[in-house]
A and B are shown apart, each in its own frame.
Chain A
Amino acid sequence: MMDASEREQYRAAIHGDREAFEMIIRTHSRALFAIAYGILQNREEAEDVVQDALIKAWKSRWRVRDPEKFPAWLSTIARYRARDVFRKRRPLPLAEELKEFSDAPASTSPSAGDMDRQVHTALAGLPELHRTALSLRYLEDMDYQTIENRLGLSNGALRGILGRALAAMRKQLRPALASLD
């Protein structure tokens, strides 16, 4: 359950308290970033998405009836915005990016860069929701309940999602992992 002060903060923000909203930006933008990043796999784009989502949330804050649902609502805005951006991407950005990535001079060990690339490829192959859940987990270290709350998932559903996501990842990356082990 949400504690009273947090709830009050959301309520104030909904009623147009800028300071409360700025405080929400401070506390929530990283989570929003994680969501956007999970979908887009691109930091710049994700940051823009978070910015847009925040502006949009401020403008349409009066639509929220229940202050408790404010965080989930923010997340939803960010997800939709990220999805929009994802769809509008020019064809094959990922491939090019990856190519760029591989062409880039390896600053660290080549195996580490290779590993990064493989992880990203594997992530890109996952369903959107799985990616989002993973990024919330790994970027923000959120516990399951909070993630479920943010993504509007029912109780216990996240376990299945993350379990499948991890299983898919490890199966895809098995050779690389074996070498790492």
Chain B
Amino acid sequence: MPTVHDQIDELLAADVHNQLSEEERHALHTHLVECATCRRAHQENKIMNKVLEETLATEKPDPAFEQRMLAGFRQRSPQWSGGLAKVIADLMRLRATQITAVAAVLLALMQVGRMITGEGAATSRHREYAAEEQFTANQAPLPASSPVGSLAKSENRRGTETDRLAAGKPFARGQSAAAPAAPPAKAKDEKQEPAGVERTIVTGSNIPTAEEVASQPARAKGAASEAGTYRAAEPEQTSPATANRKLIRNAQVELEILSFDDAVQKITAFAGEERGYVATSNSEKQANGKLKGEVVVKVIPENLDRLLQEIRGLGELKNQTLGTEDVTKAYFDTDSRLKNARVMEQRLIEILKKKSQDVNDLLQVEKELGRVREQIEQMQGELKFMDSQVQFATVTISLAEKDMNVPAAFLLKERAQLALYTPDVEKVYNDIKAVASPKVQITNAQLDRDNTGRVSARVSMLIAPEESDAVVARVKGMGRVENFQVQTERVAQGGTGMSENAKTERDKVELNVGISRDEQEQALQQTSLRIRTSTVDEKTKELRSLAEKQDGRVRSSSFSRDPDGREFANVSLRVPMKNYKALMESFGSLGKVENVSVQRQDSTGRQTDEANAPADLSIQVYSQGNIVSHDTGLFATLRRTLAQGIGALMWSFRMIGVAIAFFAPWALALALVVWVARRISRRRKQQRAATDD
């Protein structure tokens, strides 16, 4: 805590300026009583204060000072004319505006950069493309949904999906959906029933909206399931609608049953129950002893559906059609024509009764009367027929006993295929083609030669059974056979199942031959090994001669020498399997055999000629090279280290160069901006100095 004495200057100043608190003032004055130095300073300070007050009072501005300032201000900063500038100035005060401005400037710079580098065009094109894609994506569902109007606006996803479905085939849907809902008579009908004469035509106004489509299948399903329960009440339901209509109903049912006679009996019983009768029945015995026939049942229309239901229980339903024909118009037309004819008849009779004088006239009348009566009878017959048709529905039931065929014969089909490997594909191909004779038919022959010079051929032929073995043997002799397969199929004819006494026949033998050059053949066995020797070149030559001795062929070979003086020779050989072992044994004379690995491809179900199958060998003959490498030892290590160090240094120099190249334009731009700013400020200062002067 500083003492009063230490702070005396401050306290004295504050005291004369009346800025001390009560305690401070008290403490100060207590001290002043004790301390003579401070007392003197206090005295001096008071005088100093007074002198300053007096001196500076004269320096105070005169009363007109404020007015001068105001006048000067008004003169030098005239009121802004427009409110726009003010608005802009006010806007610039907002931090958000400032940030936006900075961002805008940066963006503008970026855009300029992109324009300069030509990047803009490419990206904008990409964007256009993307936009177009999106556009088409948006567009796609539109045409589909347009027929149904504004459905596409449906909000939930499932909704739109349904819409699209509905829109995709509005007519089909509309029909199926509308059909069960249309006339009550239809609702009970089975699904297979064709709409028939009463087919509901779906017109534009009938096209269901999505909501309807969505709800109608459900309703239709409901109707279908409810059909069963409504069945009992159905005649009452239908009769009012059909009371004054003449409807001919008929049905065709195709059934597969176990026993024909049983079925006919049952049908007769059903018909009796349903107040109907069996009109005709015919049957026919088939070759396999099974019965097949047709029963026509007449039943009153109201009971038709019930009868059908019962009949369907008899066996397996193959087919069913149900039709309704509306003959109301024809019926009543005929009826009224009949009435007219009757009136005509009556009048003709009256004319006759009058006993006209002229015999000629009488004859005419008689003739006319006969014609009219004929008409009447014809029409009465028609009406009767129609009545009978309307009165009874016709059910045509086709019955067939279940087929339990026993094959009459078996056919033995033989299919053989083989792959031939030969050095000369074309020759073999022509040879095989030459085999053709009346009993050997070439069905397909093709020779393929691709641009790498590979040749392959395929020949297919049909051979008469008795010739087959001989021909196959001949073909097999033309090259190395690989993969000979025979497939035999026993095909039952005229039925399925097994039969003890059916005879078996041999069909023509199908032979497919694939011919390819033997190099293309995959080796049965692949061997790789290394031989270490000191004289690679010499030993490789030796190796080649050994292989040739064993009937082997060199497929490829290479020779290389690495900087350490090591030599490598790679030789790839193919020998027949029978010579493989001998060759392998002979390698021992060349050098030390190392790293032998053998891979064999055995495939089951393939008949192969193992002795002649090719075996591939890939052999590396190598030498160990110099015992002491150039690259070991102190100097080499030192040299390597140095070289790597210098390399790294050079790399880093390069990177620094890249960085400088990268930053240089920016640094230059920055320097330019700073320079311009400085120039401007200097110019301004100079101007100001000039005006001050």
Contacts and interface: CB of A to CB of B under 8 A. Distances in A.
Interface of A: 14-16, 18, 21-22, 25-26, 29-30, 33, 37, 43, 47, 50-51, 54-55, 58-59, 62, 85, 88, 115-116, 119-120, 134-135, 137-139, 143-144, 159-160, 162-167, 169-170, 173-174, 177, 180-181
Contacts of A25: 66, 69-70, 73
Contacts, number: 128
A163 B14 contact: yes
Interface stretch (B46-54, B475-483, B506-514): B46-54
B59 A137 contact: no
B76 A169 contact: no
B89 interface: yes
19 contacts: A16-B89, A16-B90, A29-B66, A30-B66, A47-B65, A47-B68, A51-B69, A58-B77, A59-B77, A120-B55, A135-B59, A143-B19, A159-B10, A163-B10, A167-B13, A170-B48, A174-B44, A177-B47, A177-B48
Nearest to A115: B51
Given A51-B68, A51-B73, 4 more contacts: A18-B79, A139-B59, A144-B14, A163-B13
Contact of A62 (B14, B17, B56, B90): B90
B69 A162 contact: no
B56 A135 contact: yes
B17 A144 contact: yes
Contact of B61 (A16, A30, A160): A30
B56 A138 contact: yes
B86 interface: yes
A177 B51 contact: yes
A16 B10 contact: no
Contacts of A33: 61, 65
A54 B72 CA distance: 9
Nearest to A14: B93
A93 B56 CA distance: 20
A52 B12 CA distance: 37
Given A25-B69, A166-B13, A166-B48, A15 B61 contact: no
B689 interface: yes
Interface of B: 7, 9-14, 16-17, 19, 41, 43-45, 47-49, 51-53, 55-61, 65-66, 68-70, 72-73, 76-77, 79, 86, 89-90, 92-93, 689, 692
A37 B93 contact: no
B49 A166 contact: yes
A173 B51 contact: yes
Contacts of B92: 62
B48 A169 contact: yes
Contacts of A162: 10, 13-14, 17
A22 B44 CA distance: 42
B47 A144 contact: no
A116 B17 CA distance: 21
Contacts of B19: 143-144, 159
Contacts of A137: 17
Given A22-B70, A25-B66, A62-B93, A134 B52 contact: yes
A71 B68 CA distance: 20
A180 B7 CA distance: 26
B12 A163 contact: yes
A180 B47 contact: yes
Contacts of A166: 9, 12-13, 16, 45, 48-49
